[in-house]
């Protein structure tokens, strides 16, 4: 079956705080480890009151320290916000502390608004240098070269595996050219999913890190004992999406009985596009949804977002997802290497 992994948003809930969100992320990673999930990622977001993962490398270390086997990483670091040397040092340090368990996913977007990006003191043209910065980061994490003057300490020789993240064809083309694994953000930008996978697979060039394409796709999955309960839990994420459209960056809200009392018809239509790659329901519904998604995409791995307000319900959701995925039909993958 396709590997299962988790992208955790480290949500700060109404009535709670950042420390609780960080500790819940660590607890969830330990739970995921016992359930057989492959990796647990957090993402870089800035100036968002409801997300506690801005200092992403520190959050990765906090989570890795509470687990022993599961891979932990960034999904991702927004490289235009940083010097490649600093990221090589941070993730080289993480690899020294947790050898063989650290992933480094790289994104080209700033992960915030333009005003906050200026507060990060970054060059407005930094995103245009993303391919060069990825190459620089590869070199800093790779074997030491003769006469090398700049080294990441720790970091040089660690060869922390890199991933390219994306929600458009740009990331797919770059991942293919560099021979890196590719993670598509279909959990919030699903429109280009099929085209991006086709471009990535068709143009892939083997590299020292990877000899064949490896595609991971993001998907929102909410599982509960019944379809009705899962749909109610989902209203937390639906309200967050509505707030995003409104420009309101608030804390995670408890679920409500009727989402149509919260958003407008226009917001509902916008959210349907944003959340199109979502699977919500009972274990049977989730199993069928996963099987259909894999039949359509032949993804090598699913990166699951289960954005639920209550921590215990979220733990239960991931347990039900793991059980459901085990019963989902696995398609043949070879036909998807060249198919569009």
Q: What is the pLDDT of residue 20?
A: 98
Judge whether 273 lies within some domain: no
Q: What is the pLDDT of residue 115?
A: 79
pLDDT tens digits, one per residue of 146-165: 888 999 999 999 999 999 99
Q: Rounded to whole angstroms, how far apart are CA atoms 269 and 49? A: 25
Low-confidence ranges of the chain (pLDDT < 70): 110-113, 117, 124, 329-340
Judge whether 326 lies within some domain: no
Q: Rounded to whole angstroms, how far apart are CA atoms 263 and 310? A: 21
Q: What is the pLDDT of residue 147?
A: 87
Judge whether 99 lies within some domain: yes
| CATH number of 57's domain | 3.20.20.30
Q: What is the pLDDT of residue 336?
A: 47
Q: What is the pLDDT of residue 328?
A: 84
Judge whether 195 lies within some domain: no
Q: Which residue has the tokens 């995925």?
A: 325
Judge whether 127 lies within some domain: yes
Judge whether 292 lies within some domain: no
Q: What is the pLDDT of residue 327?
A: 87
Judge whether 80 lies within some domain: yes
Q: What is the pLDDT of residue 1?
A: 80
pLDDT tens digits, one per residue of 296-315: 999 999 999 999 999 999 99
Judge whether 133 lies within some domain: yes
Residue-number span of the structural domain to which 34 is assigned: 1-160
Q: Calculate the CA dihedral of residues 11, 171, 221, 191 and round it to 10 degrees.
A: 120
Domains in the chain: how many in total? 1
pTM tops 0.85, yes or no:
yes
């Amino acid at each position: 079956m396709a590997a299962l992994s988790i992208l955790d948003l480290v949500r700060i809930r109404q009535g709670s705080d950042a420390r609780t969100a960080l500790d819940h992320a660590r607890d969830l990673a330990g739970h995921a480890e016992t359930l057989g999930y492959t990796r647990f990622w957090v993402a870089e977001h800035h100036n968002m009151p409801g997300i506690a993962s801005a200092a992403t490398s520190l959050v990765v270390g906090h989570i890795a320290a509470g687990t022993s086997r599961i891979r932990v990483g960034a999904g991702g670091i927004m490289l235009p916000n940083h010097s490649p040397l600093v990221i090589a040092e941070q993730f080289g340090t993480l690899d020294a502390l947790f050898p063989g368990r650290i992933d480094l996913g790289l994104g080209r977007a700033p992960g915030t608004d333009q005003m906050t990006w200026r507060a990060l003191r970054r060059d407005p043209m930094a995103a245009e240098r993303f391919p060069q910065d990825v190459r620089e980061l590869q070199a800093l994490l790779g074997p030491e070269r003769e006469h090398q003057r700049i080294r990441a300490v720790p970091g040089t020789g660690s060869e922390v595996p890199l991933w390219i993240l994306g929600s458009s064809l740009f990331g797919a083309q770059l991942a293919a050219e560099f021979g890196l694994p590719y993670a598509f953000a279909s959990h919030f930008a699903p429109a280009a999913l099929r085209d991006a996978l086709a471009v990535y697979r068709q143009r892939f060039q083997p590299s020292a890190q990877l000899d064949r394409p490896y595609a991971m796709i993001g998907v929102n999955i909410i599982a509960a004992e019944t379809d009705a309960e899962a749909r109610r839990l989902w209203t937390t994420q639906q309200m967050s999406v509505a707030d995003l459209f409104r420009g309101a960056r608030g804390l995670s809200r408890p679920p409500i009985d009727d989402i149509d009392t919260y958003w407008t018809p226009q917001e509902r239509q916008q959210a349907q596009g944003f959340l199109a790659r979502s699977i919500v329901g009972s274990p049977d519904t989730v199993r069928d949804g996963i099987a259909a998604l894999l039949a359509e995409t032949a993804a090598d791995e699913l990166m699951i977002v289960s954005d639920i307000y209550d921590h215990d319900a979220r733990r239960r959701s991931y347990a039900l997802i793991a059980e459901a995925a085990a019963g989902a039909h696995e398609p043949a993958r070879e036909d998807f290497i060249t198919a569009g």
